[in-house]
Amino acid sequence: MSATLLFFNLISLSICPSLSASVVEDLNNLLPPPDFNTTISNNCLREPSLRYCNYSSIDLLEIFKSTIVAAHLCNESKNPNCVESFPKIDLQSSPRIAPLYLSFSFFWKYCPLTILSIDLSNNSIEGPFPLEILNCTQIHALDLSHNQLTGDLPIESFTSLTNLTLLNLSYNHFSESKISDSHFFARFNSSNFLHSGLLPDHKGFRIKAVILLVCFPILVILIVACWGWLCFCRPDILPSVFQQRHKFTPTMLKTATSGFSEKNLVGKSRGVEIYKGVLTDGTEVRIEIYTEKISMEQRRKFVKECKVLVQLRHRNLVRVMGWCNRGRLRAIITEWMDGENIEMWLSGSPPWKHRLKVLKGVVDGMRYLQEQWPEIGYDLRTSGVLLSQERGPLISRFKVGEQNGSSRKTYRFGVFLLEIITNRRPQEEFEKGETGFIEWVSTHYPGNTQKVIDERIKKTGTMYEQATEGIELALMCTDLTLGHQPSLTQISNKLKAYESSLVSSSPNNKKSHRERGESHKL
Ligand SMILES: *[C@@H]1O[C@H](CO)[C@@H](O)[C@H](O)[C@H]1NC(C)=O
Ligand SMILES: *[C@@H]1O[C@H](CO)[C@@H](O)[C@H](O)[C@H]1NC(C)=O
Ligand SMILES: *[C@@H]1O[C@H](CO)[C@@H](O)[C@H](O)[C@H]1NC(C)=O
Ligand SMILES: *[C@@H]1O[C@H](CO)[C@@H](O)[C@H](O)[C@H]1NC(C)=O
Ligand SMILES: *[C@@H]1O[C@H](CO)[C@@H](O)[C@H](O)[C@H]1NC(C)=O
Ligand SMILES: *[C@@H]1O[C@H](CO)[C@@H](O)[C@H](O)[C@H]1NC(C)=O
Ligand SMILES: *[C@@H]1O[C@H](CO)[C@@H](O)[C@H](O)[C@H]1NC(C)=O
Ligand SMILES: *[C@@H]1O[C@H](CO)[C@@H](O)[C@H](O)[C@H]1NC(C)=O
């Protein structure tokens, strides 16, 4: 009689009469028969290789229980010759009972030697690899596919399964492990570990590669597009290294003026719209937009001129910050001046010494332009010269490539000077405009100057003398006869002399010092 037969004889003898109950009930209720001692002893005598024979202290109750589990498992495996042999544990697709049988560690400890195949596939078994199974070292086949096993595979423990030829661990969630390094797993290939998590997932890898191949270029394109948009539309929010100074884009101007809103429109005339804007760094600017359509050639000239204008640096010149020449938008951006222009200022009848200060500032700006940028013209009108609290008068409205030479500029200064002295507006008050204005002044010079000098200037004393001299100077400036005009240096020297004589002639020296301080602040 073979050992297996003995083993199952024992089961059928002792358990079969009441095996209809559940395995748990049987484990709780059944007791070993009285001669169980002897049966086990006899079995071991005949077949010492039986697993339970090798334990030093034989736990009879544990062995008995394992025979109950074996009998139930045998039935569950639907093996027709269960009693004679028990070659297979088949709990495939039995997710309700498979974990229960796995939990009977005493059964696996004495795992019958006749079992050659264990199939626990498709059972939703969770947790780490069930180590107890490996107590059945003799098995040829082990299928644990389609479960939820996680964690590391106990690679070392597999080496005792020398006869294992069919292994399936596919469709689990193991951690990736180096089974390819193990000598034991060399006899298996990837079809044993499909989607087990153990092998680097080629499909996943391919998906990752595809994602990378598709997404990376898209990302690069997006970054490039984003960068391009920034460079093209909003260079002002780029780091300063990448900014093109002086070049403004339509988007920047649109942002600065809240979309060219009515609220920011401060002036409008034929072909020109003037907006007040705030740049991203908080600087207030004046944006002069030219709506007139011009040719490409003129546009090129415009940019060329702007490139010159942004280089102007003088305290008495309005600073040109940049330009925009993109699409239909053509604009010049200058610093914003909150103050009034000279025309408005004059209507408040400022004191003579303040007028002198303004004249000196204007001449300073003119001299700078004459020496450094003779090709730049400007519109020297009382309405075109702004007044800043800190910097004094500011010449604006430049024009590059001015054909009118310095003589014309000096002429314009003459008219400007006369306006300062007389506080009259030639365009409004005289029929022939400027010419009429000059004629009117010269008819009263030198005999009747009190008629032309602004009545707010005292009719006596140094100031009055200076105003009278100023008229002479102005008339020289407006005299276009060759060689009659004074140079800007001469004009400047004269104004300086007026200023200092104003100080020294003052009756009260202390007061004059204070006044001088004030006038410097202008
Ligand atoms: C064996 O299993 C069948 C169902 O497969 C069941 O009907 C039968 O009662 C079981 N036999 C014993 C003795 O448990
Ligand atoms: C055999 O059974 C007796 C009681 O029937 C018990 O005292 C004894 O320890 C058992 N022998 C073994 C080897 O378990
Ligand atoms: C049990 O021990 C004997 C020697 O004591 C040995 O020949 C046999 O292979 C062992 N069986 C198992 C299953 O380890
Ligand atoms: C797993 O078991 C379910 C029933 O429990 C069955 O419908 C399904 O086909 C089985 N899947 C596999 C791969 O055996
Ligand atoms: C059974 O498995 C446990 C856990 O792996 C192990 O500690 C024990 O030595 C094994 N017993 C036999 C007889 O292989
Ligand atoms: C493997 O099979 C051989 C031959 O059938 C047998 O001698 C050996 O004991 C088996 N190995 C194990 C670990 O059961
Ligand atoms: C894996 O090995 C088996 C034989 O053991 C073979 O039939 C099968 O084609 C192999 N599969 C792969 C993917 O190498
Ligand atoms: C393991 O099981 C999966 C799913 O049931 C199957 O696709 C695969 O072919 C099996 N592998 C082997 C080696 O039997």
State whether the beta carbon of 165 lies less than 6 angstroms from ligand 7: no
- Ligand nearest to the Cα of 83, by number: 1
Closest atom, ligand 7, to C-alpha of 187: 5
Residue 176 has what DSSP assignment? P
- Ligand nearest to the Cα of 64, by number: 2
Residue 467 belongs to a domain with what CATH number? 1.10.510.10
How far does residue 172's CA lie from ligand 5's centre (Å)? 24
Residue 63 belongs to a domain with what CATH number? 3.80.10
pLDDT single digits (tens) 136-187? 999 999 999 999 999 999 999 999 999 999 999 999 999 988 888 888 989 8
Flag whether pLDDT at 13 surpasses 50: no
Six token digits for residue 388: 């800043």
Q: Is residue 241 part of a domain?
A: no
**Confidence bin at 451 (pLDDT 50/70/90):** confident
> Is the same domain home to 502 and 361?
yes
CB 362 within 8 A of CB 385: yes
Q: Is residue 20 part of a domain?
A: yes
Count of domains for the chain: 4
Flag whether pLDDT at 406 surpasses 50: yes
Q: Is residue 519 part of a domain?
A: no
Calculate the alpha carbon distances from 193 to 127, 135, 404 in Å: 18, 22, 92
pLDDT of residue 446: 81
pLDDT single digits (tens) 191-232? 999 999 888 766 677 788 888 888 888 999 999 999 888 888
pLDDT of residue 323: 92
pLDDT of residue 14: 43
Q: What is the 3-state secondary structure (H, E, C) of 273-294?
A: EEEEEECCCCCEEEEEEECCCC
State whether the beta carbon of 42 lies less than 6 angstroms from ligand 1: no
Residues 6+ apart with CB under 8 A from 208: none
Flag whether pLDDT at 241 surpasses 90: no
Candidate of 97, 120, 122 to mutate for ligand 4, largest count of ligand atoms within 8 Å of Cβ: 122
- Average pLDDT in the chain: 84
State whether the beta carbon of 190 lies less than 6 angstroms from ligand 7: yes
Candidate of 4, 138, 139 to mutate for ligand 6, largest count of ligand atoms within 8 Å of Cβ: 138
pLDDT of residue 402: 66
> Is the same domain home to 20 and 93?
yes
- Residue written as token pair 């139930």: 72
Lowest mean pLDDT among 58-62, 437-441, 444-448, 512-516: 512-516
pLDDT of residue 219: 92
> Is the same domain home to 364 and 499?
yes
How far does residue 53's CA lie from ligand 3's centre (Å)? 8
Distance, in Å, from the CA atom of 466 to the CA atom of 89, rounded to the nearest integer, reads 124
> Is the same domain home to 91 and 194?
yes
pLDDT of residue 403: 66
> Is the same domain home to 362 and 508?
yes
> Is the same domain home to 268 and 184?
no
> Is the same domain home to 176 and 261?
no
Flag whether pLDDT at 285 surpasses 50: yes
Q: Is residue 521 part of a domain?
A: no
Q: Is residue 71 part of a domain?
A: yes
CB 189 within 8 A of CB 211: no
**Confidence bin at 404 (pLDDT 50/70/90):** low
> Is the same domain home to 289 and 315?
yes
pLDDT of residue 447: 81
Distance, in Å, from the CA atom of 336 to the CA atom of 279, rounded to the nearest integer, reads 11
> Is the same domain home to 59 and 146?
yes
pLDDT single digits (tens) 460-495? 788 888 888 888 888 888 888 877 888 889 889 988
Mean pLDDT of 503-508: 60
CB 253 within 8 A of CB 246: no
How far does residue 520's CA lie from ligand 3's centre (Å)? 115
In this structure, the residue with its CA closest to atom 1 of ligand 3 is 54
State whether the beta carbon of 119 lies less than 6 angstroms from ligand 4: no
Flag whether pLDDT at 99 surpasses 50: yes
CB 4 within 8 A of CB 113: yes
Flag whether pLDDT at 519 surpasses 50: no
How far does residue 183's CA lie from ligand 7's centre (Å)? 17
Q: Which of 307, 335, 363 is the last residue of a domain?
A: 335
Flag whether pLDDT at 505 surpasses 70: no
pLDDT single digits (tens) 55-88? 777 788 999 999 999 989 988 888 777 777 788 9
Distance, in Å, from the CA atom of 500 to the CA atom of 480, rounded to the nearest integer, reads 30
Q: Which of 312, 335, 358 is the last residue of a domain?
A: 335
Residue 303 belongs to a domain with what CATH number? 3.30.200.20
Mean pLDDT of 503-516: 49
Could you tell me the residue range of the domain that residue 101 belongs to?
3-201
Question: What would the DSSP string read from start to end of 45-87?
Answer: HH-TTSGGGGSSS--HHHHHHHHHHHHHHHHHTT-TTTTT---
Cα-based angle 99, 103, 107 (whole degrees, multiple of 5): 120
State whether the beta carbon of 38 lies less than 6 angstroms from ligand 2: no
Report field, pTM of the whole predicted structure over 0.75: no
Six token digits for residue 511: 């007061």
Lowest mean pLDDT among 25-29, 33-37, 234-238, 435-439: 234-238
> Is the same domain home to 325 and 347?
no
State whether the beta carbon of 147 lies less than 6 angstroms from ligand 4: no
Mean pLDDT of 405-425: 87
Helix (H, G, I), strand (E, B) or coil at 331: strand
Q: Is residue 239 part of a domain?
A: no
Which of the residue ranges 14-18, 56-60, 259-263, 443-447 has the most confident prediction, judged by mean pLDDT? Answer: 259-263
Q: Which of 304, 335, 366 is the last residue of a domain?
A: 335
What percent of the chain lies above the pLDDT cut of 90?
32
Q: Kindly tell me the burial class for residue 34, based on how many C-beta atoms sit within 10 Å of its own C-beta (0-12, 13-18, 19 or more).
A: exposed
Flag whether pLDDT at 454 surpasses 90: no
Six token digits for residue 349: 């009848």
Q: Is residue 517 part of a domain?
A: no
Residue 44 backbone phi and psi in degrees, to 5: -70, -30
Q: Kindly tell me the burial class for residue 54, based on how many C-beta atoms sit within 10 Å of its own C-beta (0-12, 13-18, 19 or more).
A: exposed
> Is the same domain home to 331 and 413?
no
pLDDT single digits (tens) 328-351? 889 999 998 887 888 888 888 888
- Residue written as token pair 């796995």: 102
pLDDT of residue 506: 56
pLDDT of residue 517: 38
Which of the residue ranges 95-109, 238-252, 315-329, 441-455 has the most confident prediction, judged by mean pLDDT? Answer: 95-109
Q: Kindly tell me the burial class for residue 121, based on how many C-beta atoms sit within 10 Å of its own C-beta (0-12, 13-18, 19 or more).
A: buried
Distance, in Å, from the CA atom of 380 to the CA atom of 411, rounded to the nearest integer, reads 10
pLDDT of residue 19: 54
Sign, Cα dihedral of 265, 267, 273, 274: negative
Distance, in Å, from the CA atom of 31 to the CA atom of 335, rounded to the nearest integer, reads 105
State whether the beta carbon of 60 lies less than 6 angstroms from ligand 2: yes
Residue 401 has what DSSP assignment? T
Pairing of strands 284-290, 329-335: antiparallel
State whether the beta carbon of 189 lies less than 6 angstroms from ligand 7: yes
Position 61: which residue type? L
In this structure, the residue with its CA closest to atom 12 of ligand 1 is 20
State whether the beta carbon of 192 lies less than 6 angstroms from ligand 8: yes
Sign, Cα dihedral of 260, 262, 265, 267: positive
> Is the same domain home to 268 and 392?
no
How far does residue 11's CA lie from ligand 2's centre (Å)? 19
Mean pLDDT of 14-40: 78
Neighbour tally for 207: CB within 10 Å: 11
State whether the beta carbon of 94 lies less than 6 angstroms from ligand 4: no
Flag whether pLDDT at 8 surpasses 80: no
